């Protein structure tokens, strides 16, 4: 099969770029002496997760229990569900554990810890619980210096069948940075504060075997990870334009793209109209606040080479607008005739991937690029 055989829009994965990204991250974690637990929410794809595990990853991180169920069914047992646990989801988590899944869940408040302990006591479920630590004020977690950390640890440790498995954090504010110095400082802040939380728990006589940190920018920027047992990162496997602006990759490292077809023009405006709108690219405009605004995505030719100056500048549900920055290209109809296939690199790989039920793997064959297997991806919660 060749690209011309695909209906558009279609999600393409450049397998050479993807494997290069996987190898880069795994080798870095190996050199820093920590285990690596990839966050599979980016791809939600068994074939890609298996490639990460084959490269040396130990276990996976998920953002939904549906993901946990699907990956466990595929034979992956070591799973961290990295979203704060609430009582209505405990039955679903317990069912996975009863089937033999080594599922870890997290608590980021005394309310969450109390709910977990109460369910575990009533139903005899051996929950392993990690405490989420706030190391950058980005989203959720308890303060590493606060009293609540010890209170939660005591609740979980004395809760009967619950086990206090460790601490974890995610320095998501690293996405707002763009210099090596700032990224290194955030990586050290993430590390030191999560390690501090672990040390305080141990000083209080509580177990803390796991210290888990990570985001793609901090994982690729950390100078040392003393006291850390594992790192988590997700978007690195595809990368995207936000990560290129952050400075941890080049647009030429982005492995995910959307194949689209030119379906019309507005010549007087310098527009080419394509069949990939926001339903294909998502509404994520994450590069808008960064130093390089890529609109809804960077334009490439059908072979994946970037076309300088052209982006997906506008998007309706099923229509995308391709135009050139600066002066309008009044010859755009000749440059991109109707029927021309193009690729668009995404702002946010997780959001764009979520628009598609499957990925088309692209390989370099003897005669150039070839379409390989189709990889399904998961949906739902």
Q: Is residue 234 domain-shared with residue 288, that is, in the same domain?
A: no
- DSSP assignment of 175-233 equals GG--SHHHHHHHHHHHHHHHHHHHHHHHHTT----EEEE--HHHHTT-S--TT--EE--
Contact, 284 vs 348, CB < 8 A? yes
Query: Which residues touch 346 (CB under 8 Å, ≥6 apart)?
Result: 240, 241, 254, 256, 257, 258, 281, 282, 284, 297, 352, 353
Q: Is residue 204 domain-shared with residue 301, that is, in the same domain?
A: no
- Domain assignment present for 15: no
**Which CATH number covers residue 205?**
3.20.20.10
Q: Is residue 300 domain-shared with residue 361, that is, in the same domain?
A: yes
- Domain assignment present for 25: no
Question: What's CA 44's distance to the chain center, in Å?
Answer: 9
Q: Is residue 96 domain-shared with residue 200, that is, in the same domain?
A: yes
Residue 154 sits in which domain range?
A: 33-238
Q: Choose the final residue of a domain: 238, 265, 282.
A: 238
**Which CATH number covers residue 344?**
2.40.37.20
User: What distances in angstroms separate CA 240 from CA 18, 55, 110, 248, 370, one per listed residue?
Assistant: 12, 21, 37, 10, 22
Helices (H) and strands (E) in the chain, counts: 12, 17
Contacts by 5-9, CB closer than 8 A, 24 or more apart: 5/371, 6/259, 6/360, 6/371, 8/259, 8/260, 8/261, 8/275, 8/276, 8/341, 9/258, 9/259, 9/260, 9/275, 9/276, 9/280
- Domain assignment present for 156: yes
Whether the ω angle into residue 9 lies within 30 degrees of 0, i.e. cis, is: yes
Contact, 65 vs 380, CB < 8 A? no
> Angle at CA 43, nearest 5°, toward 227 and 107?
45
Residue 367 has a pLDDT of 77
Q: Is residue 286 domain-shared with residue 328, that is, in the same domain?
A: yes
Q: Is residue 202 domain-shared with residue 325, that is, in the same domain?
A: no
The tally of domains found in the chain comes to 2
User: What distances in angstroms separate CA 91 from CA 119, 129, 156, 304, 343, one per listed residue?
Assistant: 9, 15, 18, 45, 43
Q: Is residue 263 domain-shared with residue 332, that is, in the same domain?
A: yes
- Domain assignment present for 23: no
Q: Choose the final residue of a domain: 185, 209, 238.
A: 238
Q: How many CB atoms lie within 10 A of CB 93?
A: 21
CA distance 287 to 294: 6
Task: Scan for tokens 């006589």, then name that residue.
Answer: 205
Q: Choose the final residue of a domain: 171, 205, 238.
A: 238
- Domain assignment present for 17: no
- Domain assignment present for 157: yes
Q: Is residue 173 domain-shared with residue 75, that is, in the same domain?
A: yes
- Domain assignment present for 261: yes
Q: How many CB atoms lie within 10 A of CB 268?
A: 8
Task: Scan for tokens 């646990």, then name that residue.
Answer: 85
- Domain assignment present for 160: yes
Contact, 52 vs 76, CB < 8 A? no
Q: Is residue 231 domain-shared with residue 306, that is, in the same domain?
A: no
Q: Is residue 127 domain-shared with residue 274, that is, in the same domain?
A: no
Residue 242 has a pLDDT of 98
pLDDT tens, residue order, the chain (381 aa): 889 999 999 999 999 999 999 999 999 999 999 999 999 999 999 999 999 999 999 999 999 999 999 999 999 999 999 999 999 999 999 999 999 999 999 999 999 999 999 999 999 999 999 999 999 999 999 999 999 999 999 999 998 899 999 999 999 999 999 999 999 999 999 999 999 999 999 999 999 999 999 999 999 999 999 999 999 999 999 999 999 999 999 999 999 999 999 999 999 999 999 999 999 999 999 999 999 999 999 999 999 999 999 999 999 999 999 999 999 999 999 999 999 999 999 999 999 999 999 999 999 888 788 999 999 999 888
Contact, 231 vs 56, CB < 8 A? no
Residue 194 has a pLDDT of 98
CA atoms within 13 A on the CB side of 161: 13
Q: Is residue 296 domain-shared with residue 200, that is, in the same domain?
A: no
Q: Is residue 225 domain-shared with residue 80, that is, in the same domain?
A: yes
């Amino acid at each position: 099969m060749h690209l011309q055989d695909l209906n558009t829009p279609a999600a393409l994965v450049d397998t050479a770029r993807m494997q290069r990204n996987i190898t880069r991250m795994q080798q870095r974690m190996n050199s820093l002496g920590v285990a690596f637990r990839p966050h599979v929410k980016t791809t939600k794809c068994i074939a890609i997760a298996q490639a990460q595990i084959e490269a040396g990853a130990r276990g996976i991180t998920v953002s939904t229990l549906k993901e946990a169920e699907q990956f466990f069914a595929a034979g992956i047992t070591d799973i961290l569900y990295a979203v704060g646990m609430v009582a209505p989801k405990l039955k679903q988590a317990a069912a996975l554990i009863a089937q033999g899944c080594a599922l870890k869940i997290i608590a980021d408040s005394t309310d969450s810890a109390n709910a977990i302990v109460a369910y575990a006591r009533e139903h005899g479920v051996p929950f392993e619980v990690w405490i989420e630590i706030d190391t950058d004020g980005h989203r959720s977690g308890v303060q590493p210096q606060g009293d609540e950390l010890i209170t939660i640890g005591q609740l979980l440790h004395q809760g009967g069948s619950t086990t206090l498995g460790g601490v974890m954090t995610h320095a998501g504010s690293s996405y707002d940075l763009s210099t090596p110095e700032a990224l290194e400082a955030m990586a050290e802040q993430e590390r030191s504060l999560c390690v501090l939380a672990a040390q305080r728990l141990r000083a209080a006589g509580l177990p803390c075997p796991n210290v888990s940190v990570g985001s793609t920018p901090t994982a690729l920027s950390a100078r040392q990870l003393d006291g850390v047992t594992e790192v988590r990162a997700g978007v690195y496997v595809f990368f995207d334009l936000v990560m290129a602006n952050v400075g941890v990759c080049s647009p030429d490292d982005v492995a995910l793209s959307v194949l689209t077809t030119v379906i019309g023009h507005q010549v007087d405006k310098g527009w080419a109209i394509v069949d990939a709108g926001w339903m294909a690219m998502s509404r994520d405009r994450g590069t808008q606040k960064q130093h390089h605004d890529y609109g809804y995505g960077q334009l490439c030719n059908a072979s994946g080479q970037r076309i300088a100056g052209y982006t997906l500048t506008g998007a309706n549900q099923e229509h995308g607008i391709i135009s050139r920055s600066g002066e309008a290209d009044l010859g755009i109809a000749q440059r991109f005739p109707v029927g021309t296939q193009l690729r668009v690199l995404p702002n946010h790989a997780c959001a764009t991937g979520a628009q598609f039920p499957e990925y088309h793997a692209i390989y370099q064959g003897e005669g150039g690029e070839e379409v390989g297997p189709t990889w399904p991806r998961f949906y739902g919660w």
